[in-house]
Structure 1
Amino acid sequence: MSPATRLCLVLPLRPVACRVAGGCTRAATRAIHSNPAQPAKVVPVYGTGPPPEPPQPDPEFTAQEREQRLARRRRQAELLNRAGDLKALKQQQQQDAKNTKTSGGGLKRRFWKDVHVREVNGALEIHLDTRPLRHPTTKSIIRLPASKPHLAHALALEWDNLVSAQQATKQHLIPLTSLICRALDIASSDSSNTTEGSIRPTITTTLLRYLDTDSLLCLAPPPAPGDHDPARDGPSLRTRQEQAYTSTVSYLTTRVWPGVSIAPVLDGHSLFPQPQQPGTREVVQGWITSLSPFELAGLERATLAGKSLLAAARLVVEWSEEGAHARTISADEERGRRKERYGVEEAARAVSLEVDWQTGRWGEVEDTHDVEKEDLRRQLGSVVLLVSGNGTASKSS
């Protein structure tokens, strides 16, 4: 049996005989509470109608408070404007200081005033006032063949556009200087007669890798009947790739590598590139090894820029003053070749067929495709300047 959870508030007392009217007796009890119980009183609602109006402030006090609030907001807005002006002024000062520092202001401006091209002992030199331009690593004077006046003047113009000497340490501001120094390094490595650390074998190995993944040898699948795009007129991507492939390969197998067969490595449906026929790599390797230092440096730059060894080889052969060991052609063939000159624009279009196809269909990405397009033409143009000349090439000392 569970204990009681409630206590009784009325305790029974000792029964006392109590006589009441009527003659009966009952036991007397006493309550704990001293206050008697009161019944609830029902009071009616005293009033009816809407509630009274809330208290209103004094009109004079309200106008004064409004003026104070507006004045406070005006002061806050003025402080915010001053803070913004101070912040903008500080940022402008920092930007001006940064621009002054990077542009060579004050003592950090370039130490030369004029740039000249001078012929010294049968070679062309670039002089910064009276100081000859030197190799940044070996500190030797940069001497160009006398048959390359365009290259020398382009190099002088590149240094004349620099504002400070600090800009000469940035490779993207002196691309022609780095390319010329690369050619001079190859010439110095060839004359050292040491096989260890030679630059030419390393370049040859690197360039031969592009023969297996050449952009001109990777063809898109033929368009299926259901892939026809009525909104686009003109030849398909596959047709354009075949035209670029046929034109370049026929030129190289006729002028540079006679008797060599170069086949596409990816023909649309294959997953892995197919190797070339036996003997093809050996012929191409021998041709690369036989190039002059300026031709080899130009071939390397053009291949890395366009990801195509074939397009780079044709560009170098077309513009090289030394011929790049190409087969001599007749006068009629020379006149026909000049009508269809393979220049920077043709090489850039050949290695950018896929990108041009996509951008022509979907549009260009601002500050991406246009920058890459100009950079590709800039690098290919530097190759043309490097290998071209007036035909009287001589070794640079």
Structure 2
Amino acid sequence: MSLVSRLAKAERANPGKKPWKEVRIEEWGDGLVILLDELPIRTPLKKPIVVPNNKPFLANAIALEWSLLNSAQDALMKRYRTPLTQLAARVVDMHEPNVLTPSRDSTISSVMRYLDTDTLIFYAPTPPEKQRRPNKKTLRELQVAEAEPIVEWLTTVLWPGTKIECNDGDSGFMAAVRQPPETLKVIREWLEGLTDWDLVALEMATLSSKSFLIGARLVAEWSSELGVGGKSWGIEEAAMAASVEVRYQTEIWGEVKDTHDVDKEDIKRQLGAAWLLALGAEG
């Protein structure tokens, strides 16, 4: 009997009860598998979720998700309570694309599209002098100060010799600027060389920050496979880079309770999931 069938049967027999007694991690070939009693957690395509041996923190985090569930119904109907499990399943099922899981090539094309509208490099126009706040930086100045170090790192460390074009509000109408063909070629080749785990981590970081460049910096900084980062630029820095305009506006107009504060923590949660997906045993 599959895990899903067992959970469904258990829920019918004992509604609201947790049908497993133990959640544990065991070695499984070249990886780590999370077991509910004796059954491995599986993907929608019924494949066991096997986490690479060099990602023990991820395996433990997935096991914790299942330890905190209260019933079979939680596992079947409340997928939002197991976000890391869903991301890991996405990785495992990626090479058999289905209605829930796009293919690897489709994922690469999807994240690359964010380059054209990357929020990190959309700079607001310089305001007239009379609209400037005394002793305060303009939105544009804040955006440039946040973006330039990230772009410099990417074009010197990760993709040496490439050029990233910004969308400059001082140039007039802010239509999306296409990146140079040489840059797109280098980035595409870099994406194609990523492991499935790093690619899904990048996708998650890109979607949550609305910036491919922020996602690339975070994943490259912490990936156990890429080995190019100093592990000094993390979740907090990525969240700050992704929220320049929001922070600027809340400084002027104030924070809306249960909106801005919740959004601020939610983006950290999503970036944290991406970070954990890329993270290796060395931390």
TM-score (norm 1): 0.63
Tell me which residue corresponds to 2:177: 274
2:69 maps to a residue whose letter is: L
* Percent identity of equivalent pairs: 41
Structure 2 gaps, min length 5:
1-10
Unaligned runs of 5+ in 1: 1-102, 191-196, 327-333, 393-397
**Number of residues paired by the alignment?**
268
CA contact (8 A) 2:167 2:174 kept: no
Question: Is residue 363 from structure 1 mapped to residue 254 from structure 2 by the alignment?
Answer: yes
Write the distance in 2 (CA, Å) between the matches of 1:159 and 1:387. Answer: 21
Q: Which has the higher contact order (CA 8 A, sep 6+)?
A: 2
Q: Distance in 2 between matches of 1:131 and 1:189?
A: 22
Mapped pair 1:145 → 2:145: no
Equivalent position of 1:121 in the other structure: 29
The answer for the alignment partner of 2:4 in structure 1 is none
Runs of 4 or more off by more than 6 Å in structure 1? none
The answer as to 2:57 corresponding to 1:154 is: no
Query: Is 1:171 matched up with 2:58?
Result: no
Give distance in 2, aligned partners of 1:105 and 1:360.
54
Quote the RMSD (CA, aligned, Å): 2.4
The answer on 1:223 being equivalent to 2:114 is no
Question: Residues of 1 paired with 2:202 and 2:235: CA distance?
Answer: 13
Is the aligned partner of 1:294 residue 2:201? no
> Which digits, 9 at most, give the CA deviation of each residue in 1:60-85, with x for residues without a partner?
xxxxxxxxxxxxxxxxxxxxxxxxxx
Quick one: which of 96, 99, 105 aligns to 1:201? 105
Report how far residue 163 of structure 1 moved: 0.9
**2:195 alignment partner AA:** S
CA distance in 1 between counterparts of 2:51 and 2:175 reads: 44
Task: Tell me which protein shows more helix as a share of its residues.
Answer: 2
Partner of residue 272, structure 2: 381
> For residues 240 and 198 of structure 1, do their structure 2 counterparts lie closer, same or farther at Cα, with a shift above 3 Å needed?
closer
For residue 203 of structure 1, report the CA deviation from its aligned partner: 1.1
- Aligned partner of 2:57: which letter? H
Do 1:104 and 1:165's aligned partners in 2 also have CA atoms closer than 8 Å? no
Partner of 1:108, secondary structure, is coil
- What do the CA deviations read for 1:28-85 (whole angstroms, capped 9, x no partner)? xxxxxxxxxxxxxxxxxxxxxxxxxxxxxxxxxxxxxxxxxxxxxxxxxxxxxxxxxx
Give distance in 2, aligned partners of 1:202 and 1:120. 29
Cα drift, residue 151 of structure 1: 0.4
How many Å separate the matches in 2 of 1:242 and 1:276?
18
Pick from 207, 210, 233: which aligns with 2:114?
Answer: 210
Deviation at 1:258, TM superposition (A): 0.9
One-letter amino acid of the structure 1 residue matched with residue 70 of structure 2: V
Seen in structure 2, the aligned counterparts of structure 1 residues 201 and 355 have a Cα distance that, compared at 3 Å, is same
Residues 131 and 198 of structure 1, relative CA distance in 2, 3 Å threshold: closer
Distance 1:177 1:255 in 2: 32
Query: Structure 1 residue 322 and structure 2 residue 232: aligned?
Result: no
Question: In 2, are the aligned partners of 1:265 and 1:276 still within 8 Å (CA)?
Answer: no
Inter-partner Cα distance in structure 2 for 1:120 and 1:311: 34
Shift of the 224–170 alpha-carbon distance from structure 1 to 2, 3 Å rule, reads: same
| 3-state SS of 1:323 partner | coil
